[in-house]
A and B are shown apart, each in its own frame.
Chain A
Amino acid sequence: MMNRLLHLENLNVKDTHNHELVKGVSLDLYEHEFVGIVGESGSGKTLSVKAALHLLPNDLGVTFEDSEVLGKSIIDLSDHEKRRLIGSGIGFVPQNTVAFLHPMIKIKHQIGDAFIYHTKANKKEALQKAEELLVKVGIKEPKRVLHSYPVQLSGGMKQRVNIAMALMTDPKVIIADEPTTALDTVVQKQVMQLFNDLYTNDGVSILFISHDLKIVKRFCNRIYVMHEGKVVESGYTSEVFADPTHSYTKKLLRLIPSLKSGRTRRLG
């Protein structure tokens, strides 16, 4: 059995009006896996992965039967251990919203923070590493970006900074929530290639949320299909795509005819 890096069992999330947002979701991510989560908007994808990292706000009612991060049961960990484990072991690329980067702090003063904090590296080393990673995510002028405030960068640039930031600590697991939506197709390919390289060459495991079934089919070896707060189908990508059992999955796949006819290898 391969190492289980993320484990979440029977997650339920309710909002303040006791309305069920996530209903009985279980998720796993094993070592050497590239797992996709697909599902329409509002189906609970973001809530589920945030719950796996214990990032949900306190006003939401969150319950689960079991939750493991990097092989450790999260309930048994002290605050300090939890912070260290997640902070250095997991890279999280948030879904593209406006303010994951601090608007009042230059990129160079925030991108390396976790790296410095967890590895005791100095600022110079952090900047050097940040610069390399920024180039890797397709930024041509990393120095300019480092010296900028977030407001000086476009949405796509910010998203790439977020990706680079998630990679700073050389995490074993990357959780990426629709990391390519704000990017044009060229950069999108570049970023997916980067994730794939990390997965194949560096042994990084990836949990990947996407709307884009083509990308999911191409890169993920296992998928979860979510619908209205539930996981309605899961399994190896090839099997799910070849023989969807749930009606929602069937509908989803029917929307993209080219997938069924096998002309999906155009990407990349």
Chain B
Amino acid sequence: MLNFIVKRLFSGLVVLFFISLVTFIVLMWIPGDPALLSLGTDATPEKLAELRESMGLNLPWYEQYYQWLTGFLVGNLGNSYVFGEDVFTLLVQRLPVTISLAVLSMAIAIPIAIVIGVLSAIYKEQWIDYIARSVMQLGDAMPQFWLALVFLVFFSAGLGWFPVAGFTPVEEGFFASLHSILLPSIVLAIGQIGPLIRIIRSSMLSSLEQDYMLMTSVNGFTKFRSIGKYALRGAIIAPLTIIAMQLAGILGGAVLVESIFALPGLGRLLLMAVEQRDLILLQGIVIFVTGTVVVVNMVTDILYQIVNPMIRFGGSHE
């Protein structure tokens, strides 16, 4: 187990390294001058040169990357050009918004997907199943930005049920905060629900066909009992891993939703960093987000080993 964790950790670090390197190189190649962007077009050439020098922009890319990397290794993500602030501080400020969005959207998507997925497997080829499949396809086909705009126009601007923009921090009341991110979370959840239903439905279907289900008939259990105790348990593994993998998708969706709903989260910060060519800030966000995804996937892999007796005890046949 320890061996597995170390291996997993190592491969995670390798991924992080490559991603940071690639981001850096790509951004170096994009035309545009961060110093000019941060000073404005009426800046004097002397000032520009001075700033470039102090930002280290005159160094070759690999030295800039090296500086960033050594800073990162001692826990310093550097200073944002645009905000003039420590990148880590900026991340911590924006994080609550994105985390709330991710958590709430999962909290909406997962229970609904479980109910729909399980029912559609049990009533395969019956009307519940057809409805479920339509929901899946609708969720897949609906572009999230379009959905976000429609929701915004209809529920916020039109009906006035939700704020048009902005985030209410939890300190100002839990429900107020929830209310401020409910609509964008629903948009995110709709984007997640298709794949979730699909995996729950298919693992449930395969569980229902297993031999242990035959034994529940032999034993004369009610459908409720045989599904509740036996079928569901046999269907748990695949969805668990998918849920972890979807985190990356949620973070991607968050960028979009946050910019449409004007929520001050990581996604919007990322967009700003790209627009302003704020290389250091962007690098910090990318590393942070990929790091989170890598860590979450690692934790799931480990949990997967613990939850699944077939893996946990797989090697110990008589």
Given contacts A97-B211, A104-B308, A151-B313, are A118 and B220 in contact (CB under 8 A)? yes
Interface string of B294-318 (1 = CB under 8 A from A): 0000000000000011100110111
* Interface check A114, CB cutoff 8 A: yes
Chain B: minimal CB distance from A169 (Å)? 8
Interface string of A226-266 (1 = CB under 8 A from B): 00000000000000000000000000000000000000000
Chain A: minimal CB distance from B287 (Å)? 37
Please report the C-alpha to C-alpha distance between residue A205 and residue B302 in the assembled complex, in whole angstroms.
49
Asked if B318 and A157 make an inter-chain contact with CB atoms under 8 angstroms apart, the answer reads yes
Asked if B318 and A53 make an inter-chain contact with CB atoms under 8 angstroms apart, the answer reads no
* Interface check B214, CB cutoff 8 A: yes
**B309: contacting residue among A82, A104, A114, A117, CB under 8 A:** A104
Asked if A154 and B318 make an inter-chain contact with CB atoms under 8 angstroms apart, the answer reads yes
Stretch among B8-16, B105-113, B137-145, B230-238 lining the A interface: B230-238
* Interface check B41, CB cutoff 8 A: no
How many A residues face the partner with a CB closer than 8 A? 33
CB-CB under 8 A from B314, the residues of chain A are 151
Asked if A114 and B212 make an inter-chain contact with CB atoms under 8 angstroms apart, the answer reads no
**A153: contacting residue among B212, B218, B318, CB under 8 A:** B318
CB-CB under 8 A from A154, the residues of chain B are 317-318
Asked if B220 and A86 make an inter-chain contact with CB atoms under 8 angstroms apart, the answer reads yes
Asked if B220 and A117 make an inter-chain contact with CB atoms under 8 angstroms apart, the answer reads yes
Interface string of A58-92 (1 = CB under 8 A from B): 00000000000000000000000011111110101
Asked if A117 and B211 make an inter-chain contact with CB atoms under 8 angstroms apart, the answer reads no
Asked if A114 and B219 make an inter-chain contact with CB atoms under 8 angstroms apart, the answer reads yes
Given contacts A103-B309, A153-B318, A154-B318, are A83 and B220 in contact (CB under 8 A)? yes
Please report the C-alpha to C-alpha distance between residue A55 and residue B63 in the assembled complex, in whole angstroms.
71
Asked if B236 and A104 make an inter-chain contact with CB atoms under 8 angstroms apart, the answer reads yes
Given contacts A83-B220, A114-B219, are A100 and B211 in contact (CB under 8 A)? yes
**A114: contacting residue among B220, B230, B233, B313, CB under 8 A:** B220
Q: Which positions 90-106 of chain A face chain B at CB distance < 8 Å?
A: 90, 92, 94, 97-105
* Interface check B150, CB cutoff 8 A: no
* Interface check A28, CB cutoff 8 A: no
Chain A: minimal CB distance from B303 (Å)? 14
Asked if B211 and A98 make an inter-chain contact with CB atoms under 8 angstroms apart, the answer reads yes
Please report the C-alpha to C-alpha distance between residue A82 and residue B220 in the assembled complex, in whole angstroms.
8
Asked if A55 and B310 make an inter-chain contact with CB atoms under 8 angstroms apart, the answer reads no
Asked if B317 and A104 make an inter-chain contact with CB atoms under 8 angstroms apart, the answer reads no
* Interface check A185, CB cutoff 8 A: no
* Interface check B7, CB cutoff 8 A: no
CB-CB under 8 A from A97, the residues of chain B are 211
CB-CB under 8 A from A102, the residues of chain B are 212, 230, 233-234
* Interface check A193, CB cutoff 8 A: no
CB-CB under 8 A from B212, the residues of chain A are 99-103
* Interface check A152, CB cutoff 8 A: yes
**B218: contacting residue among A92, A101, A103, CB under 8 A:** A92
Asked if B218 and A87 make an inter-chain contact with CB atoms under 8 angstroms apart, the answer reads yes
* Interface check B3, CB cutoff 8 A: no
CB-CB under 8 A from B316, the residues of chain A are 152
Asked if A105 and B233 make an inter-chain contact with CB atoms under 8 angstroms apart, the answer reads yes
Q: Which positions 205-236 of chain B face chain A at CB distance < 8 Å?
A: 210-212, 214-215, 217-222, 225, 229-230, 233-234, 236
CB-CB under 8 A from B214, the residues of chain A are 55, 94, 100
Q: Which positions 266-309 of chain B face chain A at CB distance < 8 Å?
A: 308-309
* Interface check A9, CB cutoff 8 A: no
Chain A: minimal CB distance from B282 (Å)? 44
CB-CB under 8 A from A92, the residues of chain B are 215, 218
Asked if B215 and A87 make an inter-chain contact with CB atoms under 8 angstroms apart, the answer reads no
Q: Which positions 152-169 of chain A face chain B at CB distance < 8 Å?
A: 152-154, 157, 165
A-B contact pairs, 11 of them (CB 8 A): A90-B218, A92-B215, A100-B211, A101-B212, A102-B230, A104-B234, A104-B309, A105-B233, A113-B229, A151-B310, A152-B313
Name the 6 nearest CB pairs between A and B, nearest first. A87-B220, A83-B220, A114-B219, A149-B309, A102-B212, A154-B318
Chain B residues packing against A (C-beta within 8 Å): 210-212, 214-215, 217-222, 225, 229-230, 233-234, 236, 308-310, 313-314, 316-318
Apart from A94-B211, A104-B310, A149-B310, 20 more pairs, CB < 8 Å: A55-B217, A83-B220, A87-B218, A88-B220, A92-B215, A94-B214, A99-B211, A100-B212, A100-B214, A102-B212, A103-B310, A105-B229, A114-B219, A117-B220, A117-B221, A148-B313, A151-B313, A152-B309, A154-B317, A165-B215
